Amino acid sequence: MTLPELEALMLSLGEPKYRGAQLYKWLYAIGAGSFDEMSNLPQALRERLAAGFSPDCLRMVAREAAKDGTAKYLFELQDGLRIETVYMPEGERSTVCLSTQVGCPLGCAFCATGSMGLRRDLLAGEIIEQAIQVRRERPGITNVVFMGMGEPLLNYEHTLKAVRLLNDGVGIGARRMTISTSGVVPGIRRLAREGLQVKLAVALNASRDDLRNILMPVNRRYPLSVLKQAMQDFARATGKLVSVEYVLLQGVNDSQREARELVQFLRGIPCKVNLIPYNPVPGKEFARPSPERAERFKQYLLPHLSSVTLRRSRGRTVRAACGQLCTRTTSRRARPALRERATISPKIPPRPDPSHS
Ligand code: SF4
């Protein structure tokens, strides 16, 4: 719920408007998990709120932690569906990776989430609360990436509402947030016009259409030439580098040929490149390249591109490839949650169907 929405709720309950600001602070800046904690609200109001609402709309049902500090969380939504969130500490930085949909409609060949299909879009409150609940256990989150289950730019309204609430309510700078897309060009163009400091990452994974059509079917709708133009325009409009994510799949996109194609594709795009060795997914035929092979790919790129990093393996013991912890759904009854109620109204535009190219 936004601040004006909470103020309206307080007025509707016969409370002064400023109670909305108090509640807003408890829900987002502090991240209270119960109305009991909200010590500057009158006891009677706390009891009324507790009788009608829950401050949380997610229930944490599992967590796994790796030795490197990476932790993966499984949350259950009020309709029983489940989503994943990953926490990744690295030096001074602590990043939380948020899901924006339950499943994903885009069906990338290497992705566990893609195999689930789309169950539904997440509400803004459900997106934000992943960060809030992780922060309760691990304070000091500095960065947010929208790179978990789902394609954020196909759930545009709720993702952008979550960005704004994370910024204004939770207190995470927009510069420290990155929206990652598989290449949904209308969403990239719309994001460029928002005037936000939020960064863009593009999961590229192949630099020629025939290969990318197979790995990422969204490419049939928005082929590489169209995607490249959108990336260039985004960089020009925002003055920001585009992050290019490239998952290395052994024997598929990690040879010198693909490295050369990547250099060619990125010519003229202000960008930095993150190479990510694949985390194998049970049931998928793709494999992770050896460290030497991944390093060779990086070395080929280095003289041609201004910034190339090869991400070290993170959280392999917590199955950090998306969709691997989320295996089944259950149902449960729940009271309406304030963070969820807040986000029901905005209408989501019809999503493009990548199979209709
Ligand atoms: S990689 Fe991303 S866009 Fe592709 S299916 Fe998985 S969640 Fe969806």
Q: Is 75 helix (H, G, I), strand (E, B) or coil?
A: strand
Average pLDDT over residues 2-7: 94
| pTM of the predicted model as reported, rounded to 2 decimal places | 0.89
Catalytic residue among 57, 104, 271, 322: 322
Structure token pair of residue 322? 């998306």
Alpha carbon of residue 343 to chain centroid: 17
**For position 313, what pLDDT does the model report?**
62
pLDDT band at 307 (very low <50, low <70, confident <90, very high): very high
Average pLDDT over residues 159-175: 96
Buried b (16+ CB within 10 A) or exposed e, 168-194: ebbebebebbbbbbbbbbbbbeebbee
Could you give the angle at the alpha carbon of 201 between the alpha carbons of 124 and 167, nearest 5°?
40
**For position 336, what pLDDT does the model report?**
58
Residue 104 appears among annotated catalytic residues: no
Nearest-CA residue for ligand 1 atom 4 is 108
Q: What is the pLDDT of residues 281-295, one digit of tens each?
A: 888 999 999 999 999
150 lines ligand 1 (CB under 6 A): yes
Q: Which of 85, 106, 247 to mutate to test the pocket of ligand 1 (most atoms within 8 A of CB)?
A: 106
- Angstrom CA distances, 42 to 13, 17, 27, 46, stand at 13, 14, 16, 6
Distance 180 CA to ligand 1 centre (A): 10
Catalytic residue among 84, 126, 245, 340: 84
What percent of the chain stands above pLDDT 90? 81
Q: Which of 146, 178, 182 to mutate to test the pocket of ligand 1 (most atoms within 8 A of CB)?
A: 182
The residue type found at 269 is I
Structure token pair of residue 255? 């040879």
Residue 126 appears among annotated catalytic residues: no
